[in-house]
Amino acid sequence: MKVIVTGGAGFVGSHAVEYYASRGNDVLAFDNLSRGKLLGHSIKSLYYNWEYLKKYKNIKLVKGDICDFNRFKRACQGANVIIHTAAQTAVTSSIASPRIDFENNTIGTFNILEISRSLKPKPVIIFCSTNKVYGSNVNRISVREGIKRYSFTGKYRRGINEKFPIDLCEHTPYGSSKLSGDIYMQDYANLYGLRIGVFRMSCIYGPRQFGLEEQGWVAWFIIAAILKKPITIYGDGKQVRDILYVTDLVEAYELFRKSGLKHGVYNIGGGFKNTLSLLELLDILAKHIGKRPAYRFKKWRPSDQKVYISDLSRVKKELKWQPRTDYREGIFRLISWVKKNRNLF
Ligand SMILES: NC(=O)c1ccc[n+]([C@@H]2O[C@H](COP(=O)([O-])OP(=O)(O)OC[C@H]3O[C@@H](n4cnc5c(N)ncnc54)[C@H](O)[C@@H]3O)[C@@H](O)[C@H]2O)c1
């Protein structure tokens, strides 16, 4: 099987590349190595992931931009599966530079669909969508304030499902560009018979995640705590997310591919059992590091959700998937990885 992974040098992408390569498939990782530039940081990270993947002989690394239609089309020849992870990934950068966000996330995604419908056979597509497609509607759910966390009350207590409204709310440019990609994916599945799995991902974490203040908060808090960098909490720190270990996510992609299902949209995260607030993560870190990391508070970021929890009912039922890694175990593994790789940050 030939698998193309866009954003193959990124966090989720590099895990998808490794998953398929380690099972003997030919994998082409396509990435323009722009994460650092997009998020305004100079990072060794992408090069680290790129180098890391060289240990597999069946991986081809291609430096290229998904917005370059012809170059990307050439790379896609013979693809059986395209895992589309490449994106501008931060809400903050999308607000600062909406055009760049739009070009990467909307036009780049559209190119993948146009290329895929012209290929024979047509590849299966996996699209990394996001919980941000539900925008600030999430904040209309009533929440209870506890000492260290908010929790949903009422019918969404255990999570948000795929029928949750996406209209009449703020999304931020990132939420809008991803939602546009998400809806285009659904349309191309329906109109052109492409097999497409859309995964509306909550917070994903794990080794080889070079978290920043702007994106990837679990990894960022861990890196900052270990390297004694200052942590800023936007809001009151009681925000809750369901966090999912990255290799569990990639298993869900493969279950969709194997399922034979034509099309599906899935909310995916760690679910109710793997929820965590920012303050609770600081408590866990204090135990592992021996000292509570230093932090300060700043005002809430636009459209931040007080609570987001994925209702996993559909993905469990249709793909027979569930998260395997308990968040305490996953966090421990990420801490160990960061401790071993301090020189990378
Ligand atoms: N990590 C999360 O918690 C999370 C949550 C929800 C959704 N997502 C989505 O999952 C996907 C992967 O996220 P991630 O955390 O691995 O991000 P990442 O930044 O680590 O990886 C994205 C990769 O895409 C590459 N890229 C960006 N624009 C490109 C372009 N035009 N052409 C080629 N390559 C390009 C970057 O260089 C980077 O290597 C993204 O689509 C993101 O929106 C992630």
Domains of the chain: 2-344 (3.40.50.720)
Taking residue 2's Cβ as centre, other Cβ atoms within 10 Å add up to 17
Q: Which of 282, 219, 245 is nearest to 43 (CA)?
A: 219
Q: Which of 45, 68, 22, 39 is nearest to 30 (CA)?
A: 68
State residue 44's pLDDT score: 66
CA–CA separation, 263 vs 194, rounded Å?
Answer: 8
Distance 144 CA to ligand 1 centre (A): 33
Query: What does the pLDDT average to over 296-320?
Result: 94
Confidence of residue 38 (pLDDT cuts 50, 70, 90): confident
Q: Which of 100, 86, 174 is nearest to 133 (CA)?
A: 174
Q: 11-21 and 45-53 helices cross at what angle (nearest 10)?
A: 0
CA–CA separation, 126 vs 51, rounded Å?
Answer: 24
Whether pLDDT at 46 is above 80: no
Query: What does the pLDDT average to over 312-338?
Result: 98
pTM over 0.95? The answer is yes
Asked if 146 and 310 count as a contact pair (C-beta separation under 8 A), the reply is no
Look at ligand 1, atom 36, and give the residue with the nearest C-alpha.
35
Confidence of residue 43 (pLDDT cuts 50, 70, 90): low
CA–CA separation, 96 vs 194, rounded Å?
Answer: 34
State residue 83's pLDDT score: 98
Question: Which tens digits make up the pLDDT trace of 129-138?
Answer: 999 999 999 9
For residue 86, the ligand 1 atom closest to its alpha carbon is 24
User: Of the residues 45, 89, 200, which should be mutated to test ligand 1's pocket, given the most ligand atoms within 8 Å of the CB?
Assistant: 89
Distance 199 CA to ligand 1 centre (A): 13
Classify residue 136 by burial, with Cβ atoms within 10 Å: 0-12, 13-18, 19+: middle
Residues with CB under 6 A from ligand 1: 6-7, 9-13, 31-35, 46, 65-67, 85-87, 89, 104, 108, 128, 130, 178, 201, 203-204, 216
Look at ligand 1, atom 2, and give the residue with the nearest C-alpha.
204
For residue 67, the ligand 1 atom closest to its alpha carbon is 31
What one-letter code names the amino acid at 281?
Answer: L
Confidence of residue 289 (pLDDT cuts 50, 70, 90): confident
Confidence of residue 161 (pLDDT cuts 50, 70, 90): very high
CA–CA separation, 34 vs 222, rounded Å?
Answer: 23
Bridge partners of residue 5, in order along the sequence: 29, 83
Distance 146 CA to ligand 1 centre (A): 33
Between the CA of residue 171 and those of 91, 95, 166, 178, 305, what are the distances in Å? 9, 11, 9, 10, 11
Bridge partners of residue 203, in order along the sequence: 243
**Active site annotation includes 174:** yes
Distance 34 CA to ligand 1 centre (A): 10
| Average predicted confidence (pLDDT) for the chain | 95
Q: Are strands 81-84 and 150-152 parallel, antiparallel or unpaired?
A: unpaired
Query: What does the pLDDT average to over 281-288?
Result: 95
Hunting for tokens 């459209």 — which residue is that? 303
User: Of the residues 4, 5, 6, 11, which should be mutated to test ligand 1's pocket, given the most ligand atoms within 8 Å of the CB?
Assistant: 11
SS3 43: coil
Residue 89 C-alpha from the chain's centroid: 8
State residue 305's pLDDT score: 87
User: Of the residues 42, 83, 85, which should be mutated to test ligand 1's pocket, given the most ligand atoms within 8 Å of the CB?
Assistant: 85
State residue 117's pLDDT score: 97
Share of the chain above pLDDT 90, in %: 90
Looking at per-residue pLDDT, the higher value among 163 and 41 belongs to: 163
Among 19, 174, 184, 327, which one carries the catalytic annotation?
A: 174
State residue 45's pLDDT score: 67
Look at ligand 1, atom 43, and give the residue with the nearest C-alpha.
89
DSSP string, 276-308: EEHHHHHHHHHHHHSSPPPEEEEPPPTT--SEE
Whether pLDDT at 341 is above 80: yes
Distance 90 CA to ligand 1 centre (A): 9
HSE of 240 in the Cβ direction (CA atoms, 13 Å)? 27
Distance 302 CA to ligand 1 centre (A): 21
For residue 46, the ligand 1 atom closest to its alpha carbon is 39
Hunting for tokens 């705590």 — which residue is that? 225
Give the list of residues 6+ apart from residue 247 with CB closer than 8 angstroms, or none. Answer: 15, 19, 206, 325
Query: What does the pLDDT average to over 141-145?
Result: 96
For residue 178, the ligand 1 atom closest to its alpha carbon is 43
